[in-house]
Amino acid sequence: MLIQIFVLNNIHLFGIVHPYIYVYFILFLPVNLPKTTFIIIAFAVGLAMDIFSNTYGIHAAASTFIAFLRPLLAGQFVRDKEPDSIIEPHIRSFGLRGYIIYSLTMVSIHHEALYMLEILSFRDFGFTLLKILLTTLISLLFIFIYELFFFLKKNEG
């Protein structure tokens, strides 16, 4: 969250691309976390972003929305179906293909909700679509880099 607030919130590529890595924290909490707990955590993370970004609830709404959708999608990629094991949605537990599909889907849904709430209309839909696409790609790039450098290194050692 600190990296997002103090570094990434100040990056505005071409005036339209804003990388959001805080979504990583929401997407990669354990899959078998109770749904209510997960939704509360996602709302709190989004609300913190709203407070520091002065965005009046759009991050909280988008984060809560993907929290509702995550159990439907994440359950499709879990390899280990043991009920008592803690399953974290990372490359090792989802596989590379599942991880990419899961990340791409959830980040793009988050960004679509975020930018549609920001504009509150279909005016300039092409420009908004471009913002969604570019921001999703840049956010995924940051998420994949973070995953490769920190999560995979941690598990190798």
Residue 121 has pLDDT above 90, yes or no: no
Backbone phi, psi, residue 7, to 5°: -115, -60
Global pTM reads 0.86
Contact 118, 58 (CB under 8 A): yes
Pairwise CA distance, residues 94 & 130, whole Å: 29
Under the banding of pLDDT at 50, 70 and 90, the label for residue 80 is low
Q: Would you state the pLDDT for residue 4?
A: 73
Residue 98 has pLDDT above 70, yes or no: yes
Pairwise CA distance, residues 135 & 12, whole Å: 10
Pairwise CA distance, residues 153 & 155, whole Å: 5
Pairwise CA distance, residues 85 & 37, whole Å: 18
Domains of the chain, by residue range, sit at 2-11+22-156
| pLDDT tens profile 2-43 | 777 767 667 777 777 888 889 999 998 988 889 999 999 999
